[in-house]
Amino acid sequence: MVYFDDRAQAGDVLADKLSSYRDTETVVVALSKPATLVGRRIATYLRCPLNLMLMEPIEVPGTPGTAIGVLNQRGDFVYNQKLGKGLRDELEMEFHNTFAGAKIEKFHKINSMLGYDGIVQPESVANKNVIIVNDGLNTGTSIDAITEYLKPIHIERLIAAVPIATIESVDRLHIACDELHVLGVIPGNFAPEHYYEESADISEEQVAAALVEPQPA
């Protein structure tokens, strides 16, 4: 299994595998705030923009870390397929009002950030190769959220670049993407920070710096 000093190192390894996209009509889209540190190294090497896709999980009450689905920045909600339809239906019946309130709250939070530099916009990805990046993938829910967002937008190719992913996530990537680069595949769930020496606490300042860092000449 692969381990990294930090997310920047993982980005460097992935960047080398993506060299054919250097100086092309390409944009890197990070699917989480920690992913911006991976994506920055890729974007710098490829000399292309880095954007952040905003999404928020809707968690199941009483089960921290378990989401019934994810809300993307356009307001699309995609279910966590790992839970299974029967369980999702039961949870929707039991917590319908809770989930409805959480969606409104999370969408308001997303909207408060949409004007920030580096947040992905339809025009920033249209007619381009889109490289989606995360620091680790346990499920395919974030992949479903970005592909749902991209459905009405014409893009050239969708490429995934991920340091660590589960078998389930890789299966989802094969379906959703035209090309994928995964450095390590594991059979079960994992905490992404286990594979990095650096802290899992990525500050807002680090994210902001990654998004606005000037491109090299």
Which CATH number fits the domain that encloses residue 124?
3.40.50.2020
At how many degrees (to 10) do helices 141-150 and 167-176 cross?
10
Residue 158 included in any domain: yes
Q: Do 50 and 60 fall into the same domain?
A: no
Q: Do 168 and 121 fall into the same domain?
A: yes
The per-residue pLDDT for 214 is: 56
The per-residue pLDDT for 213 is: 65
Between CA 91 and CA 100, with CA 95 as vertex, the angle to 5 degrees is 115
The per-residue pLDDT for 65 is: 79
Residue 73 included in any domain: yes
The phi-psi region of residue 118 (left if phi > 0; otherwise alpha if psi is between -120 and 50; otherwise beta) is: left
Structure tokens at 182: 């995964």
Residue 136 included in any domain: yes
CA-based end-to-end distance of the chain: 36
The per-residue pLDDT for 217 is: 42
The per-residue pLDDT for 216 is: 47
Name the stretches of the chain with pLDDT < 70: 213-217
CA 168 to chain centre: 15
Q: Do 31 and 128 fall into the same domain?
A: yes
Q: Do 27 and 103 fall into the same domain?
A: no
The per-residue pLDDT for 64 is: 79
Nearest to 57 by CA among 37, 85, 83, 77: 77
What pLDDT, in 10s, does the model give residues 30-82?
A: 999 999 999 999 999 999 999 999 999 999 998 877 899 999 999 999 999 88
Q: Do 107 and 126 fall into the same domain?
A: no
Nearest to 35 by CA among 186, 215, 217, 196: 196
Q: Do 23 and 69 fall into the same domain?
A: no
Q: Do 87 and 105 fall into the same domain?
A: yes
User: Which domain, by its residues, includes 128?
Assistant: 7-54+116-212
Three-state DSSP class for residue 182: strand
Structure tokens at 183: 């450095």
Provide the edge-to-edge strand list for the sheet that holds 77-79. 55-59, 67-72, 77-79
